[in-house]
Amino acid sequence: MATRETDRTYFSETPKVYGNLIAGKWVQAHSGETFTSVNPADTKESIGIFARSDKTDVVAAVDSARAAFPAWSGTPVPARAEIILKTASILESRKEELASLMTREMGKVLEEARGDVQEAIDMAKYIAGEGRRFFGETVPSELRDKFAMLIRQPFGVVGLITPWNFPMAIPSWKTFPALVSGNTVILKPAEDTPACAAAFTQALMDAGLPAGVFNLVTGYGEEAGQPLVEDERVKMISFTGSAAVGRDVASRAGRHLKKVSLELGGKNPIVIMDDADLELALEGALWGAFGTSGQRCTAASRLIVHRGVVDEFTRRLIDRASQLRIGNGLEPTVQMGPVINREQLEKIHSYTEIGVNEGAKLLLGGKILSEPPYDRGFYYTPTIFGDANYRMRIAQEEIFGPTTVIMPVSDYDEAIRVANSVEFGLSSSIYTRDVNQAFHAIHDLEAGITYVNAPTIGAEIQLPFGGIKGTGNGHREAGTSAIREFTELKSVYIDYSGKLQRAQIDTE
Protein backbone atom coordinates (compact mmCIF):
# COMPACT_ATOMS: atom_id res chain seq x y z
CA MET A 1 0.00 0.00 0.00
CA ALA A 2 1.31 3.41 -0.94
CA THR A 3 1.33 5.83 1.97
CA ARG A 4 2.48 9.34 2.83
CA GLU A 5 4.11 10.65 5.93
CA THR A 6 0.81 12.27 6.91
CA ASP A 7 -1.22 9.09 6.38
CA ARG A 8 -2.54 7.41 9.52
CA THR A 9 -3.10 3.70 9.12
CA TYR A 10 -3.35 2.46 12.71
CA PHE A 11 -6.55 0.48 12.82
CA SER A 12 -7.53 -2.75 14.51
CA GLU A 13 -10.41 -3.90 12.34
CA THR A 14 -10.34 -4.64 8.63
CA PRO A 15 -11.51 -1.44 6.98
CA LYS A 16 -13.87 -1.25 4.02
CA VAL A 17 -12.21 -0.94 0.62
CA TYR A 18 -13.69 1.66 -1.78
CA GLY A 19 -13.07 2.28 -5.46
CA ASN A 20 -13.64 4.95 -8.06
CA LEU A 21 -16.96 5.16 -9.85
CA ILE A 22 -16.28 5.13 -13.59
CA ALA A 23 -18.89 4.34 -16.27
CA GLY A 24 -21.35 3.27 -13.58
CA LYS A 25 -19.03 0.70 -11.96
CA TRP A 26 -16.93 0.78 -8.81
CA VAL A 27 -13.35 0.01 -9.82
CA GLN A 28 -9.96 0.16 -8.15
CA ALA A 29 -7.20 2.51 -9.30
CA HIS A 30 -5.39 1.27 -12.39
CA SER A 31 -2.13 1.17 -10.40
CA GLY A 32 -3.71 -0.79 -7.55
CA GLU A 33 -2.41 1.78 -5.06
CA THR A 34 -4.53 2.98 -2.17
CA PHE A 35 -4.63 5.40 0.74
CA THR A 36 -6.43 5.32 4.07
CA SER A 37 -8.93 7.77 5.53
CA VAL A 38 -9.05 7.95 9.33
CA ASN A 39 -11.10 9.59 12.04
CA PRO A 40 -9.39 12.86 13.09
CA ALA A 41 -10.90 12.45 16.56
CA ASP A 42 -9.34 9.01 16.93
CA THR A 43 -6.70 8.09 14.37
CA LYS A 44 -6.85 4.44 15.38
CA GLU A 45 -10.22 4.24 13.64
CA SER A 46 -9.97 3.70 9.91
CA ILE A 47 -12.91 4.95 7.87
CA GLY A 48 -11.84 3.04 4.78
CA ILE A 49 -9.22 2.32 2.14
CA PHE A 50 -9.56 4.27 -1.11
CA ALA A 51 -8.28 4.22 -4.66
CA ARG A 52 -5.17 6.37 -5.03
CA SER A 53 -5.90 7.52 -8.55
CA ASP A 54 -3.56 8.97 -11.14
CA LYS A 55 -3.75 10.28 -14.69
CA THR A 56 -4.76 6.88 -16.09
CA ASP A 57 -7.85 6.79 -13.88
CA VAL A 58 -8.74 10.39 -14.71
CA VAL A 59 -8.49 9.65 -18.43
CA ALA A 60 -10.86 6.69 -17.98
CA ALA A 61 -13.31 8.91 -16.10
CA VAL A 62 -13.18 11.55 -18.82
CA ASP A 63 -13.74 8.87 -21.47
CA SER A 64 -16.80 7.72 -19.52
CA ALA A 65 -18.19 11.23 -19.10
CA ARG A 66 -17.69 12.07 -22.78
CA ALA A 67 -19.46 8.91 -23.88
CA ALA A 68 -22.43 9.68 -21.64
CA PHE A 69 -22.73 13.34 -22.64
CA PRO A 70 -24.81 13.12 -25.85
CA ALA A 71 -27.64 11.12 -24.28
CA TRP A 72 -27.61 13.09 -21.02
CA SER A 73 -27.54 16.52 -22.66
CA GLY A 74 -30.35 15.37 -24.92
CA THR A 75 -32.51 14.38 -21.95
CA PRO A 76 -35.22 16.99 -21.23
CA VAL A 77 -34.23 19.30 -18.41
CA PRO A 78 -37.28 18.43 -16.25
CA ALA A 79 -36.38 14.75 -16.57
CA ARG A 80 -32.84 15.45 -15.42
CA ALA A 81 -34.28 17.42 -12.52
CA GLU A 82 -36.46 14.46 -11.47
CA ILE A 83 -33.32 12.44 -10.74
CA ILE A 84 -31.94 15.25 -8.60
CA LEU A 85 -35.24 15.37 -6.69
CA LYS A 86 -35.02 11.62 -6.08
CA THR A 87 -31.49 12.16 -4.81
CA ALA A 88 -32.84 14.68 -2.30
CA SER A 89 -35.28 12.08 -1.01
CA ILE A 90 -32.54 9.48 -0.66
CA LEU A 91 -30.24 11.88 1.17
CA GLU A 92 -33.11 12.81 3.46
CA SER A 93 -33.80 9.17 4.31
CA ARG A 94 -30.09 8.63 5.10
CA LYS A 95 -29.47 11.90 6.92
CA GLU A 96 -28.51 10.42 10.30
CA GLU A 97 -26.29 7.77 8.74
CA LEU A 98 -24.53 10.33 6.55
CA ALA A 99 -24.11 12.80 9.41
CA SER A 100 -22.51 10.14 11.58
CA LEU A 101 -20.15 9.18 8.77
CA MET A 102 -19.21 12.82 8.27
CA THR A 103 -18.45 13.33 11.96
CA ARG A 104 -16.25 10.24 11.96
CA GLU A 105 -14.37 11.20 8.82
CA MET A 106 -14.19 15.00 9.04
CA GLY A 107 -14.56 15.65 12.77
CA LYS A 108 -17.30 18.31 12.97
CA VAL A 109 -19.83 17.78 15.73
CA LEU A 110 -22.89 15.73 14.86
CA GLU A 111 -25.27 18.68 14.96
CA GLU A 112 -23.16 20.52 12.39
CA ALA A 113 -22.82 17.38 10.27
CA ARG A 114 -26.60 17.12 10.11
CA GLY A 115 -26.66 20.70 8.86
CA ASP A 116 -24.10 19.85 6.18
CA VAL A 117 -26.26 16.98 4.90
CA GLN A 118 -29.38 19.16 5.11
CA GLU A 119 -27.68 21.73 2.91
CA ALA A 120 -27.15 19.06 0.26
CA ILE A 121 -30.82 18.07 0.56
CA ASP A 122 -31.94 21.68 0.26
CA MET A 123 -29.69 22.27 -2.73
CA ALA A 124 -31.06 19.20 -4.50
CA LYS A 125 -34.63 20.39 -4.01
CA TYR A 126 -33.80 23.93 -5.08
CA ILE A 127 -31.98 22.85 -8.24
CA ALA A 128 -34.66 20.30 -9.10
CA GLY A 129 -37.07 23.22 -9.19
CA GLU A 130 -34.78 25.00 -11.63
CA GLY A 131 -35.43 22.15 -14.04
CA ARG A 132 -38.79 23.81 -14.71
CA ARG A 133 -37.23 27.30 -14.78
CA PHE A 134 -34.31 26.84 -17.14
CA PHE A 135 -34.65 30.40 -18.31
CA GLY A 136 -33.24 31.98 -21.42
CA GLU A 137 -34.35 35.30 -22.87
CA THR A 138 -36.41 36.54 -25.78
CA VAL A 139 -35.74 40.01 -27.13
CA PRO A 140 -37.21 42.06 -29.99
CA SER A 141 -35.33 42.13 -33.26
CA GLU A 142 -34.65 45.38 -35.05
CA LEU A 143 -35.84 43.71 -38.26
CA ARG A 144 -39.28 42.63 -39.41
CA ASP A 145 -40.22 38.95 -39.38
CA LYS A 146 -37.23 37.97 -37.30
CA PHE A 147 -37.16 36.29 -33.90
CA ALA A 148 -34.26 36.65 -31.42
CA MET A 149 -33.60 34.63 -28.30
CA LEU A 150 -30.95 33.45 -25.85
CA ILE A 151 -30.68 29.81 -24.77
CA ARG A 152 -28.45 27.98 -22.30
CA GLN A 153 -26.41 24.92 -23.20
CA PRO A 154 -24.11 22.65 -21.19
CA PHE A 155 -20.32 22.81 -21.45
CA GLY A 156 -19.82 19.07 -21.80
CA VAL A 157 -17.53 17.34 -19.31
CA VAL A 158 -16.91 19.36 -16.13
CA GLY A 159 -14.46 18.64 -13.33
CA LEU A 160 -15.35 19.39 -9.72
CA ILE A 161 -12.63 19.59 -7.06
CA THR A 162 -13.99 19.93 -3.53
CA PRO A 163 -12.55 20.46 -0.03
CA TRP A 164 -12.93 18.44 3.16
CA ASN A 165 -14.67 20.93 5.45
CA PHE A 166 -18.15 20.59 3.89
CA PRO A 167 -17.94 17.13 2.31
CA MET A 168 -21.63 16.91 1.37
CA ALA A 169 -22.73 20.53 1.00
CA ILE A 170 -20.01 21.76 -1.35
CA PRO A 171 -20.19 18.77 -3.73
CA SER A 172 -23.94 19.37 -3.87
CA TRP A 173 -23.46 23.06 -4.76
CA LYS A 174 -21.46 22.01 -7.78
CA THR A 175 -22.90 18.63 -8.80
CA PHE A 176 -26.63 19.30 -8.89
CA PRO A 177 -26.59 22.44 -11.07
CA ALA A 178 -23.94 20.88 -13.32
CA LEU A 179 -26.13 17.82 -13.89
CA VAL A 180 -29.42 19.66 -14.34
CA SER A 181 -27.67 21.86 -16.90
CA GLY A 182 -26.85 18.76 -18.95
CA ASN A 183 -23.15 18.41 -18.21
CA THR A 184 -21.49 15.15 -17.30
CA VAL A 185 -19.34 15.27 -14.20
CA ILE A 186 -16.11 14.05 -12.65
CA LEU A 187 -15.80 14.72 -8.92
CA LYS A 188 -12.38 14.69 -7.28
CA PRO A 189 -12.99 15.13 -3.54
CA ALA A 190 -10.41 16.03 -0.91
CA GLU A 191 -8.30 13.06 0.15
CA ASP A 192 -9.36 13.63 3.77
CA THR A 193 -13.06 12.90 3.14
CA PRO A 194 -13.43 10.32 0.37
CA ALA A 195 -15.98 8.20 2.27
CA CYS A 196 -18.42 11.12 2.37
CA ALA A 197 -17.92 11.57 -1.37
CA ALA A 198 -18.57 7.88 -1.98
CA ALA A 199 -21.81 8.06 0.03
CA PHE A 200 -22.89 11.16 -1.91
CA THR A 201 -22.11 9.33 -5.16
CA GLN A 202 -24.10 6.27 -4.10
CA ALA A 203 -27.16 8.43 -3.49
CA LEU A 204 -26.97 9.69 -7.08
CA MET A 205 -26.63 6.16 -8.40
CA ASP A 206 -29.54 4.94 -6.33
CA ALA A 207 -31.65 7.79 -7.73
CA GLY A 208 -31.21 6.34 -11.20
CA LEU A 209 -28.54 8.54 -12.73
CA PRO A 210 -27.37 6.86 -15.96
CA ALA A 211 -23.92 5.26 -16.02
CA GLY A 212 -21.11 7.62 -16.90
CA VAL A 213 -23.03 10.82 -16.22
CA PHE A 214 -21.35 11.18 -12.82
CA ASN A 215 -17.89 9.78 -12.08
CA LEU A 216 -15.91 9.77 -8.83
CA VAL A 217 -12.12 9.71 -8.75
CA THR A 218 -10.37 9.72 -5.36
CA GLY A 219 -6.77 10.58 -4.60
CA TYR A 220 -4.30 13.37 -4.06
CA GLY A 221 -4.35 16.73 -5.77
CA GLU A 222 -1.15 16.54 -7.77
CA GLU A 223 -1.85 12.94 -8.81
CA ALA A 224 -5.57 13.06 -9.65
CA GLY A 225 -6.69 16.69 -9.46
CA GLN A 226 -3.97 18.08 -11.69
CA PRO A 227 -4.62 15.68 -14.60
CA LEU A 228 -8.33 16.57 -14.36
CA VAL A 229 -7.51 20.27 -14.65
CA GLU A 230 -5.12 19.73 -17.55
CA ASP A 231 -7.25 17.36 -19.66
CA GLU A 232 -8.30 19.31 -22.76
CA ARG A 233 -11.57 17.39 -22.95
CA VAL A 234 -12.73 18.77 -19.60
CA LYS A 235 -14.39 22.04 -20.56
CA MET A 236 -14.87 23.57 -17.12
CA ILE A 237 -13.28 23.27 -13.67
CA SER A 238 -15.07 24.28 -10.47
CA PHE A 239 -12.63 24.41 -7.55
CA THR A 240 -13.02 25.21 -3.87
CA GLY A 241 -9.90 25.31 -1.73
CA SER A 242 -6.91 27.39 -0.75
CA ALA A 243 -5.87 30.54 -2.58
CA ALA A 244 -2.45 29.10 -3.43
CA VAL A 245 -3.88 25.97 -5.06
CA GLY A 246 -6.60 28.01 -6.74
CA ARG A 247 -4.04 30.18 -8.48
CA ASP A 248 -2.27 27.06 -9.74
CA VAL A 249 -5.57 25.60 -10.98
CA ALA A 250 -6.38 28.82 -12.83
CA SER A 251 -2.95 28.91 -14.41
CA ARG A 252 -3.08 25.32 -15.65
CA ALA A 253 -6.67 25.56 -16.88
CA GLY A 254 -5.97 28.87 -18.55
CA ARG A 255 -3.56 27.24 -20.97
CA HIS A 256 -6.56 25.45 -22.47
CA LEU A 257 -8.87 28.50 -22.24
CA LYS A 258 -11.37 26.50 -20.20
CA LYS A 259 -13.80 28.13 -17.83
CA VAL A 260 -12.66 28.08 -14.21
CA SER A 261 -14.77 28.85 -11.16
CA LEU A 262 -12.68 29.48 -8.03
CA GLU A 263 -13.94 29.71 -4.46
CA LEU A 264 -10.88 30.36 -2.30
CA GLY A 265 -9.99 31.75 1.11
CA GLY A 266 -11.41 34.23 3.56
CA LYS A 267 -10.30 36.40 6.48
CA ASN A 268 -13.70 37.48 7.62
CA PRO A 269 -14.45 40.36 10.01
CA ILE A 270 -17.17 40.86 12.57
CA VAL A 271 -17.48 44.57 13.36
CA ILE A 272 -18.99 45.22 16.80
CA MET A 273 -20.02 48.81 17.40
CA ASP A 274 -20.53 50.44 20.79
CA ASP A 275 -24.32 50.39 20.38
CA ALA A 276 -24.45 46.65 19.58
CA ASP A 277 -26.49 44.10 21.49
CA LEU A 278 -23.38 42.73 23.22
CA GLU A 279 -24.91 39.40 24.22
CA LEU A 280 -26.02 38.77 20.64
CA ALA A 281 -22.59 39.79 19.35
CA LEU A 282 -20.89 37.43 21.81
CA GLU A 283 -22.99 34.51 20.66
CA GLY A 284 -22.29 35.37 17.04
CA ALA A 285 -18.55 35.74 17.59
CA LEU A 286 -18.34 32.45 19.49
CA TRP A 287 -20.19 30.56 16.74
CA GLY A 288 -18.44 32.39 13.93
CA ALA A 289 -14.94 31.87 15.28
CA PHE A 290 -15.15 28.36 16.70
CA GLY A 291 -17.92 26.60 14.77
CA THR A 292 -16.46 23.69 12.79
CA SER A 293 -13.27 24.37 14.81
CA GLY A 294 -12.78 27.48 12.70
CA GLN A 295 -12.42 25.37 9.56
CA ARG A 296 -14.75 27.41 7.38
CA CYS A 297 -13.79 29.83 4.65
CA THR A 298 -16.39 32.10 6.25
CA ALA A 299 -15.06 31.75 9.81
CA ALA A 300 -14.93 34.94 11.89
CA SER A 301 -11.17 35.14 12.35
CA ARG A 302 -11.17 38.91 12.99
CA LEU A 303 -13.24 40.67 15.64
CA ILE A 304 -13.15 44.43 15.15
CA VAL A 305 -14.55 45.92 18.36
CA HIS A 306 -15.29 49.52 19.32
CA ARG A 307 -13.07 50.72 22.17
CA GLY A 308 -16.12 51.63 24.19
CA VAL A 309 -17.07 47.97 24.63
CA VAL A 310 -13.86 46.08 23.81
CA ASP A 311 -12.87 45.37 27.42
CA GLU A 312 -16.24 43.95 28.40
CA PHE A 313 -16.60 42.05 25.14
CA THR A 314 -13.12 40.54 25.46
CA ARG A 315 -13.65 39.45 29.05
CA ARG A 316 -16.96 37.80 28.27
CA LEU A 317 -15.70 36.13 25.08
CA ILE A 318 -12.75 34.59 26.92
CA ASP A 319 -15.11 33.28 29.58
CA ARG A 320 -17.46 31.73 27.01
CA ALA A 321 -14.72 30.27 24.82
CA SER A 322 -12.90 28.73 27.77
CA GLN A 323 -16.03 26.74 28.58
CA LEU A 324 -16.42 25.15 25.14
CA ARG A 325 -16.44 21.37 25.44
CA ILE A 326 -13.89 19.81 23.09
CA GLY A 327 -13.88 16.17 22.01
CA ASN A 328 -15.25 13.56 19.64
CA GLY A 329 -18.13 15.12 17.72
CA LEU A 330 -20.28 12.00 18.13
CA GLU A 331 -20.62 12.75 21.85
CA PRO A 332 -23.77 14.83 22.36
CA THR A 333 -22.24 17.28 24.85
CA VAL A 334 -19.22 18.15 22.70
CA GLN A 335 -19.31 21.62 21.10
CA MET A 336 -16.02 21.63 19.16
CA GLY A 337 -14.35 18.69 17.48
CA PRO A 338 -10.82 18.10 16.19
CA VAL A 339 -9.15 19.74 13.23
CA ILE A 340 -8.78 17.65 10.10
CA ASN A 341 -5.20 16.32 10.24
CA ARG A 342 -1.78 16.75 11.78
CA GLU A 343 -0.54 19.05 9.06
CA GLN A 344 -3.39 21.46 9.75
CA LEU A 345 -2.90 21.13 13.52
CA GLU A 346 0.72 22.15 13.19
CA LYS A 347 -0.13 25.01 10.83
CA ILE A 348 -2.64 26.41 13.33
CA HIS A 349 -0.08 26.21 16.12
CA SER A 350 2.55 27.89 13.95
CA TYR A 351 0.23 30.91 13.67
CA THR A 352 -0.05 31.05 17.44
CA GLU A 353 3.72 31.33 17.60
CA ILE A 354 3.68 33.95 14.84
CA GLY A 355 1.10 36.01 16.75
CA VAL A 356 3.09 35.92 19.98
CA ASN A 357 6.28 36.88 18.14
CA GLU A 358 4.44 39.74 16.43
CA GLY A 359 3.52 41.17 19.82
CA ALA A 360 -0.16 40.28 19.99
CA LYS A 361 -1.42 39.29 23.42
CA LEU A 362 -2.41 35.63 23.71
CA LEU A 363 -5.54 35.79 25.84
CA LEU A 364 -6.73 32.19 25.61
CA GLY A 365 -5.62 28.82 24.30
CA GLY A 366 -2.82 28.49 21.82
CA LYS A 367 -2.15 24.85 22.68
CA ILE A 368 -2.21 21.47 21.01
CA LEU A 369 -4.16 19.07 23.22
CA SER A 370 -2.07 15.92 23.48
CA GLU A 371 -2.96 14.40 26.84
CA PRO A 372 -5.70 11.75 27.24
CA PRO A 373 -8.45 11.76 26.06
CA TYR A 374 -7.08 13.93 23.24
CA ASP A 375 -3.90 12.00 22.50
CA ARG A 376 -5.40 9.96 19.65
CA GLY A 377 -6.76 12.90 17.68
CA PHE A 378 -5.94 16.34 16.30
CA TYR A 379 -7.26 18.75 18.90
CA TYR A 380 -6.51 22.45 19.36
CA THR A 381 -7.77 24.79 22.03
CA PRO A 382 -10.00 27.76 21.20
CA THR A 383 -7.50 30.59 20.78
CA ILE A 384 -8.03 34.33 21.20
CA PHE A 385 -5.52 37.11 20.58
CA GLY A 386 -5.99 40.67 21.81
CA ASP A 387 -4.27 44.01 21.34
CA ALA A 388 -3.58 43.08 17.74
CA ASN A 389 -2.60 45.37 14.89
CA TYR A 390 -4.41 44.86 11.62
CA ARG A 391 -1.06 44.61 9.79
CA MET A 392 -0.01 41.50 11.74
CA ARG A 393 0.07 38.21 9.86
CA ILE A 394 -2.47 36.68 12.23
CA ALA A 395 -4.84 39.48 11.20
CA GLN A 396 -4.09 39.18 7.48
CA GLU A 397 -3.58 35.49 6.63
CA GLU A 398 -6.11 32.66 6.67
CA ILE A 399 -5.38 30.29 9.57
CA PHE A 400 -8.32 27.91 9.09
CA GLY A 401 -8.53 26.88 12.71
CA PRO A 402 -10.11 27.90 16.04
CA THR A 403 -8.19 31.18 16.26
CA THR A 404 -9.60 34.69 16.28
CA VAL A 405 -8.04 38.12 16.72
CA ILE A 406 -9.60 41.05 18.61
CA MET A 407 -8.70 44.48 17.24
CA PRO A 408 -10.00 47.64 18.97
CA VAL A 409 -11.13 50.60 16.85
CA SER A 410 -12.31 54.11 17.73
CA ASP A 411 -15.15 54.65 15.27
CA TYR A 412 -17.06 53.33 12.28
CA ASP A 413 -14.65 54.67 9.68
CA GLU A 414 -11.66 52.98 11.33
CA ALA A 415 -13.65 49.75 11.64
CA ILE A 416 -14.34 49.70 7.91
CA ARG A 417 -10.71 50.47 7.06
CA VAL A 418 -9.53 47.57 9.21
CA ALA A 419 -12.24 45.25 7.87
CA ASN A 420 -11.23 46.00 4.27
CA SER A 421 -7.46 45.79 4.87
CA VAL A 422 -7.04 42.13 3.84
CA GLU A 423 -6.62 40.50 0.43
CA PHE A 424 -9.78 38.44 0.84
CA GLY A 425 -13.41 39.46 0.49
CA LEU A 426 -15.74 36.56 1.23
CA SER A 427 -17.97 37.23 4.25
CA SER A 428 -18.43 40.13 6.65
CA SER A 429 -20.63 41.16 9.54
CA ILE A 430 -21.59 44.17 11.62
CA TYR A 431 -23.43 44.33 14.93
CA THR A 432 -25.20 47.66 15.51
CA ARG A 433 -28.62 48.99 16.45
CA ASP A 434 -28.17 51.99 14.12
CA VAL A 435 -30.06 51.22 10.91
CA ASN A 436 -28.27 54.00 9.04
CA GLN A 437 -24.88 52.64 10.06
CA ALA A 438 -25.96 49.13 9.07
CA PHE A 439 -26.91 50.25 5.57
CA HIS A 440 -23.66 52.15 5.20
CA ALA A 441 -21.79 48.96 6.15
CA ILE A 442 -23.70 46.93 3.56
CA HIS A 443 -22.26 49.32 0.98
CA ASP A 444 -18.81 49.84 2.50
CA LEU A 445 -17.71 46.33 3.50
CA GLU A 446 -15.67 44.70 0.72
CA ALA A 447 -17.16 41.22 0.62
CA GLY A 448 -19.44 39.00 -1.40
CA ILE A 449 -21.60 38.38 1.68
CA THR A 450 -22.58 40.80 4.45
CA TYR A 451 -24.57 40.01 7.59
CA VAL A 452 -26.18 42.51 9.93
CA ASN A 453 -26.49 41.38 13.55
CA ALA A 454 -25.45 37.84 12.63
CA PRO A 455 -22.04 36.13 12.36
CA THR A 456 -20.08 35.60 9.16
CA ILE A 457 -21.20 31.97 8.79
CA GLY A 458 -24.65 30.74 7.86
CA ALA A 459 -25.22 31.32 4.14
CA GLU A 460 -28.45 29.94 2.67
CA ILE A 461 -28.63 28.08 -0.64
CA GLN A 462 -31.18 30.36 -2.32
CA LEU A 463 -28.68 33.23 -2.61
CA PRO A 464 -25.37 33.19 -4.49
CA PHE A 465 -22.28 32.29 -2.46
CA GLY A 466 -18.83 33.68 -3.20
CA GLY A 467 -16.50 36.59 -2.74
CA ILE A 468 -14.39 39.32 -4.26
CA LYS A 469 -10.70 40.26 -4.28
CA GLY A 470 -8.46 37.29 -3.44
CA THR A 471 -11.39 35.08 -2.49
CA GLY A 472 -11.96 33.97 -6.06
CA ASN A 473 -12.37 34.99 -9.66
CA GLY A 474 -15.84 36.48 -9.48
CA HIS A 475 -17.95 33.37 -9.89
CA ARG A 476 -20.79 32.47 -7.53
CA GLU A 477 -22.24 29.17 -6.42
CA ALA A 478 -25.78 28.32 -5.29
CA GLY A 479 -28.80 30.57 -5.59
CA THR A 480 -29.73 32.33 -8.79
CA SER A 481 -26.17 31.95 -10.11
CA ALA A 482 -26.03 28.16 -9.92
CA ILE A 483 -27.34 27.39 -13.40
CA ARG A 484 -25.46 30.31 -14.96
CA GLU A 485 -22.15 28.93 -13.74
CA PHE A 486 -22.63 25.61 -15.52
CA THR A 487 -24.07 26.75 -18.85
CA GLU A 488 -22.84 28.50 -21.94
CA LEU A 489 -24.92 31.11 -23.72
CA LYS A 490 -26.09 30.84 -27.32
CA SER A 491 -27.80 33.67 -29.14
CA VAL A 492 -30.31 32.43 -31.75
CA TYR A 493 -31.83 34.41 -34.65
CA ILE A 494 -34.70 33.02 -36.75
CA ASP A 495 -35.50 34.99 -39.88
CA TYR A 496 -38.87 34.05 -41.40
CA SER A 497 -39.07 36.96 -43.84
CA GLY A 498 -37.98 34.87 -46.80
CA LYS A 499 -35.34 37.38 -47.84
CA LEU A 500 -31.88 38.52 -46.83
CA GLN A 501 -32.01 41.06 -44.01
CA ARG A 502 -28.83 42.69 -42.81
CA ALA A 503 -28.66 43.76 -39.18
CA GLN A 504 -27.72 47.42 -38.59
CA ILE A 505 -28.14 48.05 -42.35
CA ASP A 506 -31.63 47.05 -43.49
CA THR A 507 -33.47 48.60 -40.58
CA GLU A 508 -36.07 50.70 -42.39
Active site residues: 263, 297
d(CA 197, CA 94): 14
For 407, 415, 451, the CA distances from 431, given in Å and listed in that order, are: 15, 12, 9
- Grouping H, G, I as helix, E, B as strand and the rest as coil, residue 142 is coil
Task: For helices 77-93 and 194-206, give the axis angle rounded to 10 degrees.
Answer: 120
Evaluated on CA atoms 332, 337, 340, 342, the torsion sign reads negative
Q: Which helix (H) or strand (E) holds 69?
A: helix 55-73
Q: Counting beta carbons within 10 angstroms of the beta carbon of residue 328, is it exposed (0 to 12), middle (13 to 18) or buried (19 or more)? A: buried
What's the helix, strand, coil split of the chain in %, to 5? 40, 25, 40
Instruction: Yes or no: say if 398 and 243 are a contact pair by the CB < 8 Å rule.
Output: yes
Tell me phi and psi for residue 452, to 5 degrees: -115, 120
d(CA 367, CA 350): 10
- Grouping H, G, I as helix, E, B as strand and the rest as coil, residue 463 is coil
- Grouping H, G, I as helix, E, B as strand and the rest as coil, residue 284 is helix
- Grouping H, G, I as helix, E, B as strand and the rest as coil, residue 75 is coil
Of 380, 359, 384, 383, nearest to 370 (Cα)?
Answer: 380
d(CA 1, CA 463): 44
Q: Which residues contact 62 (CB under 8 A, 6 or more apart)?
A: 157, 186, 228, 231, 233, 234
d(CA 233, CA 231): 5
Residue 114 CA from chain centroid, whole number: 16
